Chains A and B, each alone.
Chain A
Amino acid sequence: MTAALRQLVLRDLRLALRQGADAVMVVMFFVITVSLFPLGIGPELNVLARISAGVIWVTALLATMLSLDRIFQHDYEDGSLELMILAPVPLEAVVLAKVAAHWLVTGLPLIVAAPLLAVLMNMPAEGFATLLVAMLLGTPTSSLIGAVGAALTLGARRGGVLVSLLVLPLYVPLLIFGVAAVDGAITGLGVRPHLLILGAMLAAALPLATWAAAAALRQSQT
């Protein structure tokens, strides 16, 4: 079973690599959108520093959301999903493998790009390390929650818009604690509780979101 799942992750990575541009585009969206904020708000450095964590987190969640259709949509359209449901591997494990691949292709590049954007947004240096750790804990959760939304909207009319309607409200706790962690580091009020809660959310999302996404995939076949 582990061999099968490794093959699944490798295949999704290979597909992302050969279809090119996908991961690059998500990062480009991230960078361009964040750099619009100083243009919209004005270049005062202290204002930018004040909103930097929030802007980076909101944009990272939006970027994740835009890439969600890649998790299941193509496999749903070309019949691969049917075969995965029929494979002698638990569907929950298939979901986990696909989410892992999605995170490697989109979540990880976002984390790599984040420090650059933190510089552009004039984030105080104390916040950098915490931002990375918080995103490391938070982006897998956003991929997991997103997988539920992506699985639920398979075969729906206007699935792309719909998925944002379903997923964004569920991202609220991630956003709050992700930003609170960075602000805590900058103001010196402590980051530990926020990071622990982000970790707890990841631990809770792993079984729950996996179950919900698998249930949604099964009923997408009717």
Chain B
Amino acid sequence: MQRFANPTRFMRMANAVLPWCAALTVVLIAAGLYLGLVRSPADYQQGETVRIMYVHVPSAWMALFIYASIAMASATALIWKHPLADLIARASAPVGAGFTLICLITGSLWGKPMWGTWWVWDARLTSVLILFFLYLGYIALNNAFDDPTRGARAAAVLALVGAVNLPIIKFSVDWWNTLHQPASLTRLDAPAIHSSMLWPLLAMAVGFTLFYVTVLIFRLRSEIVAAKIRNLRLVQIGG
């Protein structure tokens, strides 16, 4: 753990990994899109619209995965006071919020041909919507203080509270949905997975994860540079 604590060493490693990550991201997402949009068969029920799944489902995974990463980084920051963990949590949040938003928009696009309306209070979409609100609260709290370390610590506590609450929210939304489920609706389930659909899905999921890592490295780099600039200013004031 301590090996990664040193920002300089971390940056050296990150810079070495970055080109590979970026290249693999492009390759995997391109392959996933090709397999998903061109090679895979249309669904016999949903037709061509099923292809939205190749963006929608991996984004939903990323939305959850990144929130979990933030919670873990926050726990690390709170327990071991690790400066890099704070930066990772902070830098991940907008990416996670972005994936959550993509998931919501594609879900809504998928819903239009299937249900004839842009938004349906489907249990999954509703849970993702609340996850989006949690992301927004996290980002807002992180930026609400004049002292960035104070904001990072408050946001870390919030991330943990949110992580504990997320399963409870998911459970209650599912319960709520079964209570209010109108019988006529088709559920927005991923159809039974055939291998011709599995491969593009996996390629997209790994591609999205690498995209997250790439953006994370970029953002960490700029956060560390920003800290350096603030420090140089302080030295300058000191004369």
Please list the residues of chain A having a beta carbon within 8 angstroms of any beta carbon in chain B: 148, 152-153, 155-159, 162, 165-166, 168-170, 172-173, 176-177, 180, 183, 201, 208-209, 212, 215-216, 219-220, 222
Find chain A residues with CB under 8 A from B172 CB: 172-173, 176-177
Q: How far is the CB of B128 from chain A (nearest CB, A)?
A: 12
Q: Is the CB of B154 within 8 A of A169?
A: no
Q: Is the CB of A176 within 8 A of B175?
A: yes
Q: Is the CB of B164 within 8 A of A208?
A: yes
State the majority secondary structure of interface residues on B.
helix
Q: List 5 A-B contacts (CB under 8 A).
A: A152-B158, A162-B141, A170-B162, A173-B168, A176-B175
Roughly how many angstroms separate A176 CA and B134 CA in the complex, as a whole number?
Answer: 17
Q: How far is the CB of A110 from chain B (nearest CB, A)?
A: 21
Roughly how many angstroms separate A216 CA and B144 CA in the complex, as a whole number?
Answer: 14
Find chain B residues with CB under 8 A from A219 CB: 150, 153-154, 157
CB of B161 closer than 8 Å to a CB of A: yes
Roughly how many angstroms separate A168 CA and B136 CA in the complex, as a whole number?
Answer: 12
Binary interface encoding of chain B residues 70-109 relative to chain A, with 1 for a CB under 8 A from any of its CBs, else 0: 0000000010000000000000000000000000000000
Roughly how many angstroms separate A180 CA and B134 CA in the complex, as a whole number?
Answer: 23
Contacts across chains A and B counted by CB atoms under 8 Å: 83
In the complex, the chain A residue whose C-beta lies closest to that of B151 is A156
Q: Is the CB of B175 within 8 A of A152?
A: no
CB of B173 closer than 8 Å to a CB of A: yes
Max count, chain B CB within 10 A of own CB: residue among A157, A169, A176, A222:
A169
Q: Is the CB of B133 within 8 A of A169?
A: yes
Q: How far is the CB of B165 from chain A (nearest CB, A)?
A: 5
In the complex, the chain B residue whose C-beta lies closest to that of A156 is B144
CB < 8 Å: which of A166, A173, A177, A208 contacts B158? A166
Q: Is the CB of B169 within 8 A of A156?
A: no
CB < 8 Å: which of B141, B147, B161 contacts A212? B161
Find chain B residues with CB under 8 A from A169 CB: 130, 133-134, 137, 169
In the complex, the chain A residue whose C-beta lies closest to that of B127 is A172
- A169-B130, A180-B176 given as contacts; is B141 within 8 A of A153 (CB)? yes
Find chain B residues with CB under 8 A from A159 CB: 144
Q: Is the CB of B144 within 8 A of A158?
A: yes
In the complex, the chain A residue whose C-beta lies closest to that of B170 is A173
CB of B118 closer than 8 Å to a CB of A: no
Contacts A162-B141, A215-B157, A219-B157 known; 20 new A-B pairs at CB < 8 A? A152-B157, A155-B150, A156-B154, A162-B140, A165-B133, A166-B137, A168-B133, A169-B134, A169-B169, A170-B169, A172-B169, A173-B169, A176-B176, A177-B172, A201-B168, A208-B164, A212-B157, A212-B160, A212-B161, A216-B154
Q: Give residues of chain B (163-183) contacting chain A, Cβ–Cβ below 8 Å.
A: 164-165, 168-169, 171-173, 175-176, 179
Find chain B residues with CB under 8 A from A166 CB: 137, 140-141, 158
CB < 8 Å: which of B130, B134, B145, B173 contacts A155? B145
CB of B149 closer than 8 Å to a CB of A: yes
In the complex, the chain B residue whose C-beta lies closest to that of A214 is B157
Q: Is the CB of A165 within 8 A of B161?
A: no
Find chain B residues with CB under 8 A from A155 CB: 145, 150
Roughly how many angstroms separate A201 CA and B175 CA in the complex, as a whole number?
Answer: 15
Find chain B residues with CB under 8 A from A156 CB: 141, 144-145, 151, 154
Find chain A residues with CB under 8 A from B168 CB: 173, 201
Roughly how many angstroms separate A157 CA and B149 CA in the complex, as a whole number?
Answer: 15
Roughly how many angstroms separate A169 CA and B149 CA in the complex, as a whole number?
Answer: 25
Roughly how many angstroms separate A165 CA and B158 CA in the complex, as a whole number?
Answer: 12
Find chain B residues with CB under 8 A from A176 CB: 172-173, 175-176
In the complex, the chain A residue whose C-beta lies closest to that of B154 is A152
Q: How far is the CB of B156 from chain A (nearest CB, A)?
A: 9
In the complex, the chain A residue whose C-beta lies closest to that of B131 is A169
Q: How far is the CB of B7 from chain A (nearest CB, A)?
A: 21
8 closest pairs, A vs B, by CB? A156-B144, A173-B172, A169-B133, A176-B172, A166-B137, A176-B176, A165-B137, A219-B153
Roughly how many angstroms separate A117 CA and B172 CA in the complex, as a whole number?
Answer: 26
Find chain B residues with CB under 8 A from A216 CB: 154, 157
